[in-house]
Amino acid sequence: MKTIININNTLSCLLLVTAGLSQGFSQNLVANAGMDAKCIKNGYGQIDKTETWSNANGGTVDIFDKEKSRTYPYQNGIPHNYMGYQPLAQIGQNYAGIIAYYDDGANNREDSALVQKLGIKDGYKKYTEYLQGSFNEPLVAGKVYQVSFKVSLADKSGRAVSCLGALITNEKVDQKSNTFLTQEPQFISHRVIADTANWVTLYGAYIANGGEKYITIGCFKDENNFTVQNVVAPNENDSRKAYYYVSDVAIAPYIAKPNMESIVLGVDYVELMDLRFDLASAEIDSRFYNELDEVATWMAKHPEMKFFIAGYTDKTGTDAINDPLSVNRAKAVKKYLANKGVKDSNLIVEGFGSDNPVDDRIKSRRNRRVEIYLYSVNTLTTR
């Protein structure tokens, strides 16, 4: 959904940190967050046995059962299962498993030439699966919610991918074909998540439109940022799957108690809530003060890190109006952060006018935003 901005060769866009976040989800609205299920057999699929979780397209989402930890051959057990070994993300909870991407085609010119020479049909490369959960109650319009879920790449994956994210909707997603969804997610990670040893946490904050009742998690293929990484270990068979375990899905009213350290250590680039402005205004809405305060507190503790602040506008007005307005919005955020103790020289600002829109509507408030990017070479997750 977001285009990563290349500022120069010395900077790598890693983490968008515009929202304050929390580990506490005492009011988690996700129904059956622990993915409890009845009568799970030793086998594949079976997400429907949870009754509250489902697959959003024509794929088959797996459910892994904590009660099968001692059952051989561990097809869907915890921590041993047919895709590898992964302990519980949280005690007492099951977790799901999805094929985010299946690489069944040629991956280079040599492969393509051989496929053509042999008269073999090239691969599909569109198969994917989505985990879908429901809420105990609809979201309230205008209310800010915090969203979180954890993923871990399975040991027997042959690929790792970018563009894992979450889509929040009013209606249940029920696509019949097992291909990528075309809906635009509210949250997306544009870096490749290839950690098989640990659970990687994706956080976000969300202002509800009202009536949302479902969350769908999977790979939302963005052609501009989609990356596939070969992670086949030496002397291992290539499954060609980018298979991810998914756990601890949560959505709750926003609580101003962030854990920024875990974001930086776990996620290099993740889209969170945008800081939005009124039409033709560069004044920061007071409802974003708490979030900016939390981000500023964390930034001030890390003077060794630099941050890039990007300002944007909607599509109303000309470039002569939009370009300086986007710069002023970025400067307003820089001034706010500097007043809260962030080192001024660590804050780089730029305005991009109406470029890189996240919404095609001309007067979209979502496009009247500021994004903050963290630059560091020390936060990359390794396999």
Q: Do 242 and 364 sit in the same domain of this protein? A: no
Question: Is residue 124 domain-resident?
Answer: yes
- Find the CATH number of the domain harbouring 102: 2.60.120.260
User: Are 259 and 279 within one domain?
Assistant: no
Cβ atoms of 214 and 132 within 8 Å: the answer is yes
Tell me: do 308 and 361 sit in the same domain: yes
Length of the chain: 383
On whether both 184 and 245 belong to a single domain, the answer is yes
Coil, strand or helix at 89: coil
Distances in Å between the Cα of 263 and the Cα atoms of 83, 150, 204, 237, 259 are 26, 12, 10, 33, 7
Q: Is 72 within the bounds of a domain?
A: no
Q: In this structure, what CATH number is given to the domain that contains residue 363?
A: 3.30.1330.60
Residue ending a domain, choose from 240, 266, 292:
266
Residue 211 sits in the same domain as residue 346: no
The token pair that represents 340 in the structure block = 């809260």
106/228 same-domain check: yes
Q: Which residue has 């086949």 as its token pair?
A: 232
The number of distinct structural domains making up the chain is 2
Q: Are residues 206 and 333 in the same domain?
A: no
Question: pTM of the full predicted structure?
Answer: 0.66
Region of residue 13 (phi > 0: left; psi between -120 and 50: alpha; otherwise: beta) = beta
Residue where a domain stops, chosen among 249, 266, 283 = 266
Domain membership of residue 79 (yes or no) is: no
Range of the domain at 43: 22-61+94-266
pLDDT (tens, 9 = 90+) of the chain, 383 residues, equals 232 222 222 222 233 333 333 344 568 999 999 999 887 887 788 999 998 999 999 889 999 988 776 655 678 888 999 999 999 888 778 999 999 999 876 555 555 565 566 555 556 678 999 999 999 999 998 787 878 899 999 999 999 998 899 999 999 999 988 999 999 888 887 778 898 988 887 876 677 889 999 999 999 987 777 889 999 877 778 888 999 999 999 998 876 444 444 333 333 333 334 578 999 999 998 888 887 887 888 788 888 777 778 788 999 999 999 999 999 999 999 999 999 999 998 887 888 899 878 777 888 888 898 887 664 433 333 32
Instruction: Give the end of a domain, one of 266, 299, 332.
Output: 266
